[in-house]
Amino acid sequence: MNRKNRYFIVIDVLLILLTVLPILGAIVLKVLTTPQTEGISITGALIYFTIPMPIQDLPITAAQINSWLVILSILGLCLYLTHGLDVKRCTKRQHIAEWIVETCRHLVEDSMGPFFSGYAPFIASILALSAFSSLLSLFGLYPPTSDINVVGGWALLTFILITYYKLKGGFGNYLKGFTEPIFIMAPLNVLGEIATPVSMAFRHYGNVLSGSVIAVLVAAALQGLSSLLLGWLPGFLGEIPLFQIGIPAVLSAYFDVFSGCMQAYIFAMLTMLNVSGAFPEELYQKRMQKKQMKKAKA
């Protein structure tokens, strides 16, 4: 093995560690900081410390810490998949990376149109961050998507993009949109504008949180059922949680894997449809033509 190959392998190992170590660090942090509880315990994100601020103190919670650790893991995974790209010799990881890029690009072009083709990295980031955040529950960690503040921030960013593209048709046309079809509908149109990010946030947050709550309640119920039916057995036999074997794993496969990935896809689709639907392409083209005519006359 020559020096170049050894260097390549060392970089690969470091990138794998960058992908895995943040999740392991989150598990260790939870074990060291989570207080012991008895029975069923469904609480919000654990607050690690609070930063004093002028208006309101800023709590640093498990949702924020886990979000940053997920970002580090995604960064490590992306660097690993794109390490050693070669036009002549394609590796399996390069095929995976190219498939991800092509899939996201086609998804954006089919849903938003060619004008928004540059949004493929942004949509891919939303899909990865949302899906990986929800999958943290497989490791017993608090998923950031169960925190309304995290998902609300994503929805607020989408709302800013929606408003930005609506303003491309002109500020007057943007205000005029609130008076359609008649002026008396203006208050309802304003509420409808605000309801878009609110509904996106609560839909994502509610589905992920409800799945976690249901999984915990079912696991606790199965434990009680095992004690009820097998508690009369002598010794350790009466303490075996027989009904907790297998069934929670099946529920986890649905609530944590399928539902988490589905909610990530739905949030990304709503982002694409709302942003592209807010863009008045005809008005934008007319404004651009007028500006070009003015420049030509000048």
Kindly report, residue by residue over 80-96, the tens digit of the pLDDT. Answer: 999 888 878 888 888 99
Cis before 181? omega within 30: yes
How far is residue 268's CA from residue 264's CA, in Å, rounded to a whole number? 6
* Per-residue pLDDT, 89: 80
Distance CA 21, CA 3 (A): 26
pLDDT at 230 over 80: no
DSSP string, 157-169: HHHHHHHHHHGGG
Q: How many CB atoms lie within 10 A of CB 171?
A: 9
Residue 219 phi, psi (nearest 5)? -60, -40
Tokens 């990986």 belong to residue: 132
Among 248, 173, 176, which residue's Cα sits nearest to residue 216? Answer: 248
In this predicted structure, which of 108-112, 223-227, 231-235, 292-296 has the lowest mean pLDDT? 231-235
**Which of 83, 69, 57 shows the shortest CA–CA distance to 27?**
69
Retrieve residue 109's tokens.
């072009």
Q: Does the pLDDT of residue 19 top 60, yes or no?
A: yes
The average pLDDT across 198-222 equals 79
Q: Which residue has the higher pLDDT, 104 or 249?
A: 104
**pLDDT tens digits, residue range 238-279?**
566 656 665 666 666 677 777 888 889 999 999 999 998 888
Could you tell me if 146 and 208 are in contact, meaning their C-beta atoms sit under 8 angstroms apart? yes
Residue 50, helix vs strand vs coil: strand
Is the pLDDT confidence value at 117 over 80?
yes
Identify the H or E element spanning 48.
strand 47-51
pLDDT, averaged across the chain: 83
β-partners of residue 58 are 51
Contact (CB, 8 A) for 23 and 73? yes
Asked if pLDDT for residue 205 goes beyond 90, the answer is no
> What does pTM read for this prediction?
0.82
